[in-house]
């Protein structure tokens, strides 16, 4: 692939992009020529990320947004459309995790994880879909996890959110493909970020944020006659 300039003139909205996987994806899409809109809840982290992207010559709009709140999502999408243009690529990356025995988790824990990891994807995708349908084009890429394909002890709420996300992604893909909109899910294994502790694992052998960004790059550079519905990612060596 020769990605430079591939996305010139396009707009990419990346959620949860103040650090880690989201920031790596925003950087990669910006390097490919896209104008980038990023959001996160932490204003200071978001501004640092925006400064980093601008220093790399990327046109970026940064909007502090709580993706668990529908009105804030509506503002995010409308302001992105007004300032940098209609969204061609939506990457739903924002996510959180609460881990521990399911019977020790609270209703607040459940709501926080499901609202961030699942409901926000529904709301944000719903907000951009009408304009994509009108224009008969678009990519929606949902960053899920291998936790959406398998289960593990102490991961009940997180796994539930990611299993649900894969179900949502599949239904969205079936509904939107007739309009020229491609919906894909990316399912990485453990990635070396600040997201969760990885006790006993060698970070150098884990997936890196840039690996996930490369998968997104591959998805948005497919030929128009096909789409990859799901990508599963694992490190070459077990960490």
Q: Which residues pair with 14 in a beta bridge?
A: 38, 91
Which residues lie closer than 8 Å to 74 by C-beta, 6 or more apart?
127
Residue that wins the pLDDT comparison between 4 and 176: 176
- pLDDT per residue over 53-102, tens digit each? 999 999 999 999 999 999 999 999 999 999 999 999 999 999 999 999 99
Displacement of CA 86 from its chain's centroid (Å): 18
Total-model pTM: 0.95
What gap in Å lies between CA 195 and CA 142, rounded to an integer?
17
Domains by residue range for the chain, with CATH: 11-233 (3.40.50.720)
What's the Cα-to-Cα distance from 19 to each of 38, 63, 223, rounded to whole Å?
Answer: 11, 14, 30
Q: Are 154 and 100 in contact (CB under 8 A)?
A: yes
User: Beta strand 181-188 with 60-64: parallel, antiparallel or unpaired?
Assistant: unpaired
Among residues 38, 73, 158, 164, which one is catalytic?
Answer: 158
**Residue matched to tokens 């650090």:** 19
The secondary structure element, H or E, covering residue 183 is strand 181-188
Phi, psi dihedrals of residue 172, rounded to the nearest 5°: -60, -45
158 carries an active-site annotation? yes
Average confidence (pLDDT) over 118-132: 98
Q: Which residues pair with 38 in a beta bridge?
A: 14, 62
Q: Is the model's pLDDT at 38 over the cut of 80?
A: yes
The whole-number pLDDT of residue 3 equals 62
3-class state of residue 205 by DSSP? helix
């Amino acid at each position: 692939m020769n990605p430079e300039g591939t996305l010139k003139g396009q707009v990419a909205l990346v959620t949860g992009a103040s650090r880690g996987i989201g920031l790596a994806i925003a950087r990669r899409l910006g390097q490919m020529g896209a104008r980038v809109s990023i959001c996160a809840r932490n204003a200071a982290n978001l501004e640092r990320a925006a400064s980093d992207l601008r220093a790399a010559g990327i046109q970026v709009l940064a909007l502090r947004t709580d993706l668990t709140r529908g009105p804030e999502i509506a503002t995010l999408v409308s302001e992105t459309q007004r300032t940098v243009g209609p969204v061609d690529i939506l990457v739903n990356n924002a996510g959180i995790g609460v881990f521990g025995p399911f019977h020790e988790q609270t209703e607040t824990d459940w709501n926080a994880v499901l609202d961030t990891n699942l409901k926000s994807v529904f709301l944000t995708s719903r907000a951009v879909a009408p304009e994509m349908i009108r224009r008969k084009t678009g990519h929606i890429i949902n960053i899920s996890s291998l936790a959406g394909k398998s289960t593990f002890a102490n991961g009940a709420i997180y796994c539930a959110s990611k299993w649900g996300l894969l179900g949502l992604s599949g239904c969205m893909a079936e509904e939107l493909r007739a309009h020229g909109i491609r919906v894909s899910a990316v399912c990485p294994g453990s990635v070396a970020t600040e997201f969760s502790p990885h006790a006993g694992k060698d970070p150098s052998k884990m997936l890196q944020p840039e690996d996930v960004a490369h998968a997104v790059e591959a998805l948005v550079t497919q030929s128009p006659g096909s789409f990859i519905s799901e990508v599963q990612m694992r490190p070459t060596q077990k960490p």
